[in-house]
Structure formats: structure tokens, C-alpha cells
Copies of this chain bind each other. A is one copy, B any other.
Amino acid sequence: MNKVSILLAEDDTNLGQLLKSYLSAKEYDTILAIDGAEAMKIFKKEKFSLCLLDVMMPEMDGFTLAREIRTIDPHIPIIFLTAKNLKEDVIEGFKTGADDYLTKPFSMEELIYRIEAILRRSTKRATDVPAAEYTIGKFNFDVTRQLLTYQDQVRKLTTKETELLELLCRHQNEVLERNLALKSIWIDDNYFNARSMDVYITKLRKYLSKDENVEILNIHGKGYKLLC
């Protein structure tokens, strides 16, 4: 079980400190750089599991920084922090790019989710991420292998199915808010993604219907609650 180390580049020192404290409290070794140039210097000296880069920074912006970082370590996961009101084409740039991103304002919960998701995806030895298995009534849900097992029947879940079910499990017996789920999984909480999420809820309900004590309850206008 390797410790996860994060390079955080954020020029707003308040936000930077806050994030660093929060991440450290979550057992992520976090080093804060106050601009792109400093981040680069630090990155050359130490080894990191992932980078969290603000896009707008003095000295060197997040994109340029990311490019330079990639010349050293081409596969390190990078999450960008961006303002919500960026122009469409910039956002488009992120979407088509391989990197993950998070739009401000975001909640700590969303950030943690994205970090864990990206770690899950990038590390093959998946034991880094906590709670990789859940028990849902008579089901067993293996998050990292994306398997939902009922007695001897194993069902392979898709990525989105897994992500949504995992979020539901994490909030077992309490309300998972639609917006949190949308922002965590679909990044943007617009109309279409919400429809898409509905479709996945239907799928999950169908899968889980074998155990009648398990239920995904809709809390109108708020979200969903996984009962078991």
C-alpha cells in the first residue's frame, strides 16, 4: 500500500492551504506550490502520484506546466482546476484531452471522488483506494474490478454504472444529491447529463431488483438513497 503524494499548484494561497490541509487530513501527502515555475522546480526533485493544477497562474499557466511535467513523466495523472466561466472552446479542450478537470466551485467531496477515480483508473494495483468492496443486501460489489455478484451470478458493470453505484454505496442509507453525483461523475450538471444519469439509475435498479430488500429510492428534487 503505497502512500499517495500530490503536487498541488495553486496561486491563491488561501485556497491552496485549505486544499493542502484537507488532502493531508485524507492521508494524501500534499506539497503546495504557489505558481507554475515553483511547481516545476518541485516536480523535478520529487516523485508524485498525481498533480492538481490551477489553470490560471502567474509565471506559468496550468497547461504549459502540464506539458512540461509530461515531458518528464508522460503518464502521471493530472487534474486541472478551472473557473466555471471559461469559454466553450477551452472547456472543449479539456473534454477532448486525456486529463481530468474540476470546475470551481467544487466541494471537497467532489475533489476526493475525482482523485480516487483517477487513481483507480491509473494504478493497476488497485489497493490504493479505500473501500474497494461493498456489500449491498445479498450482493457483493467489487468496485475496482467492476463486478456485481449475486450468489453465483457475476455481472460485469460498465464504468459509469460502477461510478454511480459506488457513489450510492458511499452514501448508503442517506441521500446522494443529484448535483454531487453529476459533478463527480459527469463533471457538468446540465440537463442532458441528468437524463443520462436517469438511464443509469434505471439500469442499476434492474440489476439490484433480485434482492427485494435493496432499493434505490428517489428523493424528489434532491437525489437518490440506496436502501439495504
Interface residues of A, Cβ cutoff 8 Å to B: 12, 14-15, 17-18, 21-22, 24-26, 55-56, 61-64, 66-67, 82-99, 104-109, 144-146, 158-160, 173, 179-180, 215, 217-222, 225, 227
Kindly identify which residue among B86, B94, B104 contacts A108, using a CB–CB cutoff of 8 Å. Answer: B94
- Min CB distance A224 to B, Å, is 11
> Is A107 in contact with B86, judged by CB distance below 8 angstroms?
no
Name the B residues within 8 Å of A221 (CB-CB). Answer: 159
Copies in the complex: 2
| Cβ B93 vs Cβ A108 within 8 A | yes
Contact A86 B18 (CB under 8 A): yes
Contact, CB under 8 Å: A21 / B61: yes
Instruction: Verify A158–B220 contact, CB threshold 8 A.
Output: yes
CB closest chain-B residue, reference A145:
B227
Q: Which of B87, B159, B173, B180 contacts A220 (CB 8 A)?
A: B159
A159 to B220, CA, bound (A): 6
> A96 touches which one: B67, B87, B97, B105 (CB < 8 A)?
B105
Query: Which B residues touch A158, using CB under 8 A?
Result: 220
Query: Across the interface, which residues of B come within 8 angstroms of A88, CB to CB?
Result: 105
Q: B105 and A98: CB pair below 8 A? A: no
By beta carbon, the residue of chain B nearest A219 is B159
Nearest-Cβ distance from residue A31 to partner chain B, whole angstroms: 15
Chain B residues contacting A145 (CB-CB under 8 Å) are 215, 217, 227
Are A14 and B90 in contact (CB-based, < 8 A)? yes
Per a CB cutoff under 8 Å, which of B64, B83, B85 touches A25? B64
Which residues of chain B are near A215, meaning CB under 8 Å? 145
Nearest residue in B to A213 (C-beta to C-beta)? B145
A105 to B87, CA, bound (A): 10
**Within 8 Å CB of A67, what residues of B?**
25-26
Those 7 A-B pairs whose CB atoms lie nearest each other, nearest first? A92-B105, A97-B107, A25-B63, A93-B105, A89-B105, A25-B67, A89-B104
- Give the chain B neighbours of A21 by CB distance below 8 A: 55-56, 61-64
Which chain B residue has the least Cβ–Cβ distance from A106?
B93
